[in-house]
Amino acid sequence: MNDAEKYYQSFQQEIIALQESDDEGGSREQLFTRIAVDMLADAGETENTTIAYDEKDLGKRGQHKINGYAVSDNYETVDLFISIYKTDETIVSIPKADIDRAASLVTNFFRKATYNDYASDIDESRPIFDFANQLATYDELKSNLVRVNAFILTNGEYKGNLPQNTEINGVQVFYQVFDINKLYLLSENSRLPIEIDFNDFGGERFVIPCMPASNTNNDSYKAYLAIMSGKCLYKLYEQYGARLLEQNVRSFLQFTGKINKGIRDTIKNEPHMFFAFNNGIAATADHIELDENNQISKIRNLQIVNGGQTTASIYTTAKKDKVDVSDIYVQVKFSVIENHDKYSDIVSQISRYSNTQNKVNDADFSANNPALVAIEKLSRYVLSPITPNTNIHTHWFFERARGQYKTLRSREGFTKAQRVAFDKKYPKEQVFTKVELAKYINAYQEVLGGYNKIIIGPNIVVRGNEKNYARFINNNLPDEKKINNIYFEDAVAKAILFKTAEKRYGTRKNDYCIGELRQVAVPYTISLINYLTDNKLDLYKIWKNQCITDTLSDFIYDMMKQVNAFIIDKSPITHYIEWAKKDECWELVKQHEWNFNIEEIKSDLIDDTNPPKRKILTDDDSSEEEEKHKEVLLRSIPFALWKKIGEWGRDAGFLDMTKQGWASDVAFIIKNNRPFSSRDKSHAMFLFETVFKYNPELLGEADTIAESESQDSKVFSNSSSEEITLELIKRMVDWDRRKRVLEDWKWKAMNDVISGRKPLTDRMKYVFYLNLELLKKKGFEGD
């Protein structure tokens, strides 16, 4: 069984498990669609997706079917999804006839909704109504729509050609097939590259002169300078749009295809000056092919990191103003990164420095934001409380980078028993991603800027994952120093609140379902309750109980019914979701007189006379035994070596004048056997760890110096560090490899010992004991 077959089996099991759960339900085909669409969204292939099934007249002329849709934030792109789902135990081959039929079915839906006002034949309560109505009547969508991507999703295997692209009402329709092999690649690589053959790009050949930049070829990248025609850029943007722009840049610069007036004027009035006036484009790729004439024939993983506005403006001017852009040329600087391991980091760096005119923080370009890393660490060792419903401690697993949960599960769950144990400790329903974290937190409480402008609010959540996540990172994520266990516990409480509200709202399969505006009513209601209670919901109570009370749940349900009806009633347009994205909608909700009795949830609110007592857990919370342990360790180093440490730190540049003074102070304390103050001990531990990190061999001189000065070199005997064995160190190394609690150099020191690169000395045992105590605080079981 190859990797794709194993992936298929796992995929099918996940769908069956979801169908059997009370939370998901639905047909297997729609659950498959949901999972596949989520993967495409994670990879930047789509955004703002909605799962909505509709079919009519199957087997007849004009038949149609659709499983889901998406409309981009700037209304340039509509994505259509249709699924071919198989229940077979093994992967089956999908014939081309089935793919062509699926393409015809989903295209027919778009044609009907666009031309024939199909929405008038649909019940307004159905999920597909809003989309069909948008296609028929929403002027902003009609005027901005550039492309339709028709995604044919299947868990079978397809090896044939793609259906021929078509055009409907002046809009290009591009077909893509994502079969089980492509989905597997997506799960492993997180995105699929854009690959272009310029000898046959959309039926045309484009000549792109290119030359390698001198003296720039190295292990990191290769540089090229090229000249690209306006017509080629037009075709690129027509087919790929915002997908061309490096994904993180698109998110944080809030890229849209709106035209730049200066570029437009130059194209229309002075096209011959465009090359001189325009700064050009910066792009990246992981492979480029030049022909014998030094022209680009093929390129892979093309991403524009600076110049997306130029590209969009050329397209829009040509499209709307009917301007010929064939004689416009743009300089393109290509950075080709062939090293797969370095690709993401280098692209992010290029993106960052290429966009210096925009205010973008370094951390915005990747999941390596220090605050997100801090949340990830907390999620690995903060254990949920024991409750009447759960008799074991569990983890809420924050998946900072895509696939972390799956990777950890496969690493720890070699046998069925191990997988069962893992699933109990890390329940799948307690896994949450970056965008989900942003949704839970942004929905909980509004944030206002200058002149009471709404920066964070439920209307931002409704705008979709990309926009909401960008607002969260830029406006609602604290500095890493403020991320502690209380922040994490509150974040989990907000997740519980949001997820419970979603369940209470229901879906079409539930008799109690409120309606079809769950994505609006849930964040709006949570924000509203927080607003009405003046931010007094007792989040700590929710964390301790790992659920909300029945009273609060009923209160939320009643408020959601009111909010749902209010938005439908007050919306000035029939596109209720579009109305709910606007600041005006949220302002109107806050101003309305709602029917509620706050006394009903009094027990769920913080009592100002007796607020919950909470303790911030820090790595500095040391036991008395640990403090004694540190002092023995520090006193085992002779005063002469402390002086030498100061000299080494000065010469190596690791210790400034102040810290060199610390070394002299510690030497004085050791020589005269004076007591350590807490400050002296803190300074001494800093010096010790600096040496251990950068020059551990220097510490090896301690015993030699002690013997020459007739000092006791057996200070470590019969200490608590005797419990440190090679087996225990191995377990610590394996545990911390997953949890990442220790600093890298501390982990490496232990790994060097179990690998045989360094001996396990008594001094090492003493140091590793401190590691052990820290790991125990984070959930490691030393016994």
Q: Are 96 and 161 in contact (CB under 8 A)?
A: yes
Q: What is the mean pLDDT of residues 279-304?
A: 91
Give the separation between CA 747 and CA 296, rounded to whole angstroms.
Answer: 47
Q: Give the angle 116-166-208 at the CA atoms, nearest 5°.
A: 145
Chain centroid to CA 419: how far? 25
Q: Output the pLDDT for position 367.
A: 62
Structure tokens given for 526: 């949570």
Q: Are 287 and 195 in contact (CB under 8 A)?
A: no
Residue 454 has pLDDT above 90, yes or no: yes
Residue 23 has pLDDT above 70, yes or no: no
Write 98-103 long-range contacts (CB < 8 A, 24+).
99/152, 99/158, 99/160, 99/163, 99/177, 100/163, 102/65, 102/152, 103/150, 103/152, 103/163, 103/175
DSSP H or E segment with residue 229: strand 222-229
Q: Output the pLDDT for position 412.
A: 66
Q: Are 43 and 191 in contact (CB under 8 A)?
A: yes
Residue 360 has pLDDT above 70, yes or no: no
Using alpha carbons, select from 149, 142, 125 the residue that is nearest to residue 70.
149
Most confident of 151-155, 249-253, 413-417: 151-155
Residue 712 has pLDDT above 60, yes or no: no
193 by DSSP, 3-state: which?
Answer: coil
Q: Enumerate helices (H) and strands (E) in the chain, giving the number of each.
A: 33, 18
First to last CA, the chain: 39
- Per-residue pLDDT of 731-778, as tens digits, reads 888 888 877 778 777 888 898 889 888 888 877 887 888 888 888 877
* Residue whose tokens read 């377990």: 731
Contacts of 677 (CB under 8 A, 6+ apart): none
16 by DSSP, 3-state: which?
Answer: helix
Structure tokens given for 608: 């100002």
Higher pLDDT, 343 or 48: 48
Q: What pLDDT band is residue 258 in, cutting at 50, 70 and 90?
A: low
Which alpha helices (DSSP H) does 270-391 contain, by range?
A: 274-277, 308-321, 340-354, 370-381
- Which of 17-21, 33-37, 64-68 shows the lowest per-residue confidence on average (mean pLDDT)? 17-21
Q: What is the mean pLDDT of residues 250-266?
A: 64
Give me the phi and psi of 316, to 5 degrees please. Answer: -65, -40
- Sign of CA pseudo-dihedral 495, 496, 501, 503: positive
Write the secondary structure of 589-643 as one string of H (helix), E (strand) and C (coil).
HHHCCCCCCHHHHHHHECCCCCCCCCCCCCCCCCCHHHHHHHHHHHHCCCHHHHH
Using alpha carbons, select from 300, 402, 293, 284 the residue that is nearest to residue 349.
284
Contacts of 15 (CB under 8 A, 6+ apart): 28, 31, 32, 35
In DSSP terms, which residues pair with 195 in a beta bridge?
300
Q: What is the mean pLDDT of residues 608-617?
A: 84
Q: Are 556 and 529 in contact (CB under 8 A)?
A: yes
**Single-letter amino acid, residue 231:** K
- Per-residue pLDDT of 683-699, as tens digits, reads 888 898 888 888 888 87
Q: Output the pLDDT for position 79.
A: 95
- Per-residue pLDDT of 131-169, as tens digits, reads 898 888 888 888 889 899 999 999 999 999 999 999 998
Write 371-374 long-range contacts (CB < 8 A, 24+).
371/477, 371/478, 371/479, 371/480, 371/483, 372/400, 372/434, 372/477, 373/400, 373/480, 374/480, 374/483
pTM, entire model: 0.63
Q: Output the pLDDT for position 718.
A: 43
Give the separation between CA 538 and CA 610, rounded to whole angstroms.
Answer: 12
Contacts of 293 (CB under 8 A, 6+ apart): none
In DSSP terms, which residues pair with 432 in a beta bridge?
398
Give me the phi and psi of 400, to 5 degrees please. Answer: -65, -40
Measured CA distances, 57 to 62, 105, 184, 442 (Å): 7, 10, 33, 43
Q: What pLDDT band is residue 782 in, cutting at 50, 70 and 90?
A: low
Residue 411 has pLDDT above 70, yes or no: no
Percent helix / strand / coil, the chain, rounded to 5:
55, 15, 35
- Beta carbons within 10 angstroms of residue 723's beta carbon: 13
83: burial class by Cβ within 10 Å (0-12, 13-18, 19+)? Answer: buried
According to DSSP, the β-strands at 147-154 and 166-168 are: unpaired
Q: Please state, for a pLDDT cut of 70, what percent of the chain lies above it.
A: 87
Residue 526 has pLDDT above 60, yes or no: yes
According to DSSP, the β-strands at 171-178 and 147-154 are: parallel
Write the secondary structure of 269-336 as one string of H (helix), E (strand) and C (coil).
HCHHHHHHHCCCEEEEECEEEECCCCEEEEEECCEEEECHHHHHHHHHHHHHHCCCCCCCEEEEEEEE
> Strands, DSSP E only, in 436-553?
447-448, 454-456
Most confident of 215-219, 598-602, 638-642: 598-602
Q: Output the pLDDT for position 417.
A: 75
